[in-house]
């Protein structure tokens, strides 16, 4: 009978770990807190959302080259944008995932993600961001 080497076992373990890695964020950067001061947003009353709970929210940055989104939730298990798809020139679909856990704090902490605007988006008209069943509007530039 042949012996299985430790190197072979380590290699297989590494491969299995790489295949089951958690999703990565599509954001270029992130920070705790709200939108950057220079973000261009829709008027607060135009969204129809509850102003007492203004999340998620979003704004354009760098003349439309990037946009920022603010998600709120557990500070120890924050939601983050894990996928991005262009549905049409005025609609971006963002997939969300969480990291951290298995135990999450019951606080409500905002976290901002800066994302490069995908090719094919027309920022001269309103752009809708879809997060599952939630929508956020970015105003025309």
pLDDT in tens, 35-76: 999 999 987 655 555 555 678 999 999 999 999 999 999 999
In a domain, 13, yes or no: no
CA distances from 21 to 13, 14, 27, 79, 99 (A): 12, 11, 17, 16, 11
Q: How confident is the model at residue 101 (pLDDT cuts 50, 70, 90)?
A: confident
Residue 15 lies in a domain: no
CA angle (54, 55, 58) in 5-degree steps:
100
On whether the CB atoms of residues 92 and 56 are closer than 8 A, the answer is: no
Give all strands of the β-sheet with 109-116 in edge-to-edge order: 29-32, 109-116, 66-73, 57-61
> Residue 52: its pLDDT value, please?
56
Residue 85 lies in a domain: yes
Residue 3 placed within a domain: no
Number of domains in the chain: 1
Is 9 inside a domain boundary?
no
- In this prediction, residue 43 carries a pLDDT of 76
**Is 17 a member of any domain?**
no
In a domain, 46, yes or no: yes
Residue 16's pLDDT band (boundaries 50, 70, 90)? Answer: very low
Domain that holds residue 75: 23-138
Higher pLDDT, 4 or 80: 80
**92, part of any domain:** yes
């Amino acid at each position: 009978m042949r012996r299985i080497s430790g190197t072979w076992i380590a290699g297989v373990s590494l491969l299995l770990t790489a295949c089951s890695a958690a999703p990565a964020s599509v954001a270029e950067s992130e920070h705790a807190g709200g939108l950057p001061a220079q973000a261009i947003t829709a008027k607060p009353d135009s969204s129809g959302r509850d102003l007492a709970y203004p999340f998620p929210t979003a704004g354009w940055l760098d003349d439309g080259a990037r946009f920022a989104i603010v998600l709120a939730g557990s500070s120890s298990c924050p939601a983050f944008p894990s996928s991005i798809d262009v549905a049409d020139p005025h609609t971006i679909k963002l997939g969300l995932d969480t990291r951290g856990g298995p135990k999450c704090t019951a606080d409500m902490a905002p976290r901002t993600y800066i994302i490069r605007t995908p090719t094919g988006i027309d920022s001269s008209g309103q752009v809708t961001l879809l997060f599952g069943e939630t929508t956020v509007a970015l105003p025309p530039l």
